[in-house]
A and B are shown apart, each in its own frame.
Chain A
Amino acid sequence: NAGVTQTPKFRILKIGQSMTLQCTQDMNHNYMYWYRQDPGMGLKLIYYSVGAGITDKGEVPNGYNVSRSTTEDFPLRLELAAPSQTSVYFCASSQRQGSDTEAFFGQGTRLTVV
């Protein structure tokens, strides 16, 4: 059982370039999330999805886009990379919306924009 898989693990982008961070889960979870974590800080929610075809903004959505065409995949798109997007990105999933569910996290993608 792979859980939540993120690719790539590391990436360096030039300012203005675009890229897609991939996230796949094999637990048939309805809920998926994207967080970013800046050095020494906690995680901040970028976007989330409650099911295929449904996405919504989190706390820091500017500069990002997401899609959810299948239950398994939740890619995060950066259209015009900026230095402020240098961060570690974590994808997570949970089984359902509820107070007694745990979220499973991927191992992260470390992105540097230069």
Chain B
Amino acid sequence: DAKTTQPPSMDCAEGRAANLPCNHSTISGNEYVYWYRQIHSQGPQYIIHGLKNNETNEMASLIITEDRKSSTLILPHATLRDTAVYYCIVRAPSGGSNYKLTFGKGTLLTVNP
């Protein structure tokens, strides 16, 4: 699986959009980008994933660049409860080592009042 690079920490004002970047310059054409978050040492929680197209769900939006070497997770209206460590993960499709999610250190997002 390709490695990812994320900033160690970011701040965001409550009510504003939080944009979390992720670099995955060695991503392969069939690898997906996943985002999870972990709130205060709880179990990680799935947020969103995508391959090539931008994706949106009730939690967030995922913007993937055309060359797929980077992506941005967008929380449109951050709340204090969004304070968490956010993990960007690149995952291979079926077969091979797809059984696992490889977690880096992630980005600690702090939403300030």
Contacts and interface: CB of A to CB of B under 8 A. Distances in A.
Interface of A: 4, 31, 33, 35, 37, 40-45, 48, 50, 56, 58, 88, 90, 92, 97-100, 102-108
B105 A42 contact: yes
Contacts, number: 65
Contact of A107 (B30, B42, B49, B104): B42
A48 B99 contact: yes
Name which of A90, A102, A107 has the most chain B CB atoms within 10 A of its CB.
A102
Contact of B49 (A43, A50, A92, A100): A100
Contact of B43 (A42, A45, A98, A108): A108
A45 B106 CA distance: 16
Interface of B: 30-32, 34, 41-46, 49, 51, 87, 91-95, 98-106
B98 A48 contact: no
B43 A99 contact: no
Given A41-B105, A99-B92, A106 B43 contact: yes
Where chain A touches its partner, the secondary structure class is strand
Given A97-B94, A99-B32, A90 B43 contact: yes
A102 B49 contact: yes
Name which of A99, A105, A107 has the most chain B CB atoms within 10 A of its CB.
A99
Nearest to A6: B43
A45 B103 CA distance: 9
B105 A105 contact: no
